[in-house]
Amino acid sequence: MSRDVTLGLDVGGTKVAGGLVSATGRLLVVRERSTLVDDVRDPGLLVTLGLARELLAEAAAGGLTVDGIGAGFPEYVDLEGHLTSHEVLSWTKQPAEMLAELASVTVESDVRCAALGEGAQGVAQGLRSFAFVIVGTGLSYALVEDGQARRGARGEAIALGELEVSRRVDTTSSLRLERYASGDGIRERYEALSGQRAAGAADVFRLASSGDRDADFIIRSAGQALGEGLATLAQLLDPGAVVVGGGVAAARGVWREALASAYAARLLPRPVPPPILWAELGRDAGIIGAALAHRRRMTGGPTS
């Protein structure tokens, strides 16, 4: 059995997950750390760097050879693997430069990595074409065709959250879809409407299930707005399916019902609209996909 593994990192707004991935895409080791340090999201990327070092040490202790690091970040990432935004993380030095001190490295957008992971090991296996959407702290997407995640001319083909919220959902809002329907958006909108603090989107979902009317409104309208956004995505890209993942996507009940209803209503004229599929791999998708992106780059296989 091969002892070669790739270190995959999935860096998010609240946590970083990492693992050692075999050549067949099997996760051998998984570790996770919070990226919030005094309410700052991974200042200087020190949490990410620390976890990478831990996993490299664990691989060495287990007699495994690490062939490199693949890392997905919740920012715009250009074609050379450079972060070009500060939307989520408090980074001050390019992660490619920092991680290269440990091993050869490939840096990608987190949503493109997760899309590759779901395509290789998850619900999108066997699909020639699908749009993968992450609904977590933020909101983004990647279009995958023939095993490759589209990057665009500047690496910015991920910006689902830049869409305006449909007037069919909210006639007064001037928010972008990300600030309306992502995890952070759900929390912020609930706090603004209710005047109460919420620990996060999960807290708002909990309040909604216990009868809080403000929370119920926020959850339903977030689902409706995202359903409209996914319909726009389907109309423009014509994917084989729309795969939805991320922390918020684990929710069920009224959020999923509102999303599915809005999506179906918008696509009624289509004879066979793309189905909505729910991601299966959770956090593992980003880890596996990041490792896959690095391995493909190093071997000359299909790249994202």
Same domain for 47 and 100: yes
Same domain for 293 and 271: no
d(CA 79, CA 272): 34
Contact, 198 vs 187, CB < 8 A? yes
Which among 110, 216, 212 has a CA at the least distance from the CA of 155? 110
d(CA 117, CA 99): 21
Q: How far is CA 33 from the centre of its chain?
A: 17
Same domain for 183 and 150: yes
Q: Is residue 117 part of a domain?
A: no
For residue range 249-290, what is the model confidence (pLDDT) as tens digits?
Answer: 888 899 999 999 999 999 998 899 999 999 999 989 999 999
| Ramachandran sector of residue 229 (left: φ over 0; alpha: ψ -120 to 50; beta: rest) | alpha
**Other Cβ atoms within 10 Å of 178 Cβ, number:** 23
Rg (CA), the chain: 19
Domain that holds residue 83: 4-110+282-299
User: How many Cα atoms within 13 Å fall on the side-chain side of residue 5?
Assistant: 26
How many domains is the chain partitioned into structurally? Answer: 2
Same domain for 240 and 137: yes
User: How many Cα atoms within 13 Å fall on the side-chain side of residue 85?
Assistant: 15
For residue range 177-191, what is the model confidence (pLDDT) as tens digits?
Answer: 999 999 999 999 999
CATH code for position 238:
3.30.420.40
Say what the pTM is.
0.92
Q: Is residue 115 part of a domain?
A: no
Same domain for 201 and 76: no
Same domain for 144 and 80: no
Same domain for 153 and 74: no
Same domain for 66 and 138: no
Same domain for 273 and 129: yes
Mean pLDDT of 241-254: 92
Q: Is residue 171 part of a domain?
A: yes
